[in-house]
Structure 1
Amino acid sequence: MLSAALLSAVKLVSALAVCAAVSTSPASRTQSEPPPSPKRRTVPRPVTSKATCVTTNDTLAGQPFGAELTAEELLQAGAKIVSRKLFANVHEKGQNDTILTLQHQGNQFEFYCMPEQRLLRRAVITNFRPGYGQRLRETLDASTRQSGGSCSKVQIRDTERTNNVSATFSEGKPAVARVEPYLD
């Protein structure tokens, strides 16, 4: 009889131990405690570049394509004439001049045409694959290096602020460049 009572007591103690263990288990705690708050994810910020880099350089602003581009060279390379606009020359009475607009491989050029010469008035470059586009890219890269790093926009001027080249960059490469030499 004593052994039966002892055996019952051992079973009772074992059952109480199991009940105590179950009541403090992690599964039972999560039911009574509020769920943990979600962790905030931090999104890495992109490396920012300078908004606009301005460089004063007579050579870069005055000759952004290296050698001066001519309308004849572009026409020989396959450029198409988009428009011709006649207007009176303000300096020479009775002389009519022309604004000649050319399109070459997605790039647009305007030339101021007088009887004795044709001068580049404006260029908008979006395709940097032709030779003149590659030379312009080199000019823009040189300007960026002079400014001390990456820029989202670049402006190159000469000391008199008459010749201007501006470009917008996308992923570190020029996307659009505008060349505006001085004309009177």
Structure 2
Amino acid sequence: MVSAALLSSAKLVSALAVSVAVSLGACHSDDSAAARAQTTQPAPTKRRAVAKAPVAKATCVTTNDTLAGQPFGTEPTVAELLSAGAKVVSRKPFANLHEKGQTDTILTLQHQGNQFEFYCMPEQRLLRRAVITNFRPAYGQRLRQTLDVSARLNGGSCIKMQIRDTERVNNVSATFSDGKPAVARVEPYLD
């Protein structure tokens, strides 16, 4: 009987040992599965901060007597434009509003894609209007500098810009493409 009790307790210990071993193995395999799951999941990616390009303002308006009054710096003259290869597009007679009987001329010149309109009197020729689409000539580069200064005064780039003087008689307006002037219109005051 004692031997039967010992045998029975030995079986019980063996069964208990097997049960504990299986339980430990199961736990161990659960830990391994959890470890494998962690290693097979993609590592979280860090998002990089993408620098956004500055957004251009829709319209910038600057009141500056110097920039509006002298957008080219030194204004191109009829003689300079003709000597640089400008072509006369038209000559239109225009009755002088201040001198009775005097007929003046509106002279339109085309130079490298740019158009200039001058009010011509016997004693002088005044720029009436200019439309600049080619900024490569020297006068175009000077105008671009004026537009760049105006953009800086407005705190950045603009899609459209208007520069005027305090009297609001001299006006320069420009449209920009990719931060560079595409078309500029210069309209000085004429009486």
Match of 1:138 in 2: 145
For residue 156 of structure 1, the aligned residue among 151, 163, 187 is 163
Q: Percent identity?
A: 83
1:85-130, CA deviations, whole angstroms, 9 ceiling, x for partnerless residues?
0021111000000000000000000000001000000000000000
For residue 66 of structure 1, the aligned residue among 73, 76, 89 is 73
1:55-109, CA deviations, whole angstroms, 9 ceiling, x for partnerless residues?
0111100110011221111001110000000021111000000000000000000
TM-score, normalization by structure 2: 0.72
Match of 2:21 in 1: none
Aligned equivalents of 2:98 and 2:111: distance in 1?
A: 31
Matched residue count: 140
Return the offset for 1:48: 3.0
Q: Which consecutive residues of structure 2, in runs of 5 or more, have no partner in the other structure?
A: 1-51
Helix, strand or coil: the match of 2:127?
A: strand
CA RMSD of aligned residues (A): 1.1
State whether structure 2 residue 90 is matched by structure 1 residue 105.
no
Q: Which consecutive residues of structure 1, in runs of 5 or more, have no partner in the other structure?
A: 1-44
In the alignment, is the contact (CA less than 8 A) between 2:75 and 2:139 conserved in 1?
no
1:16-44, CA deviations, whole angstroms, 9 ceiling, x for partnerless residues?
xxxxxxxxxxxxxxxxxxxxxxxxxxxxx
State whether structure 2 residue 63 is matched by structure 1 residue 56.
yes
- Residue pairs, 1:109-124, within 5 angstroms: 109-124=116-131
Which structure is larger by alpha-carbon Rg, 1 or 2? Answer: 2
Match of 1:30 in 2: none
Aligned equivalents of 1:47 and 1:119: distance in 2?
A: 39
Return the offset for 1:47: 5.0
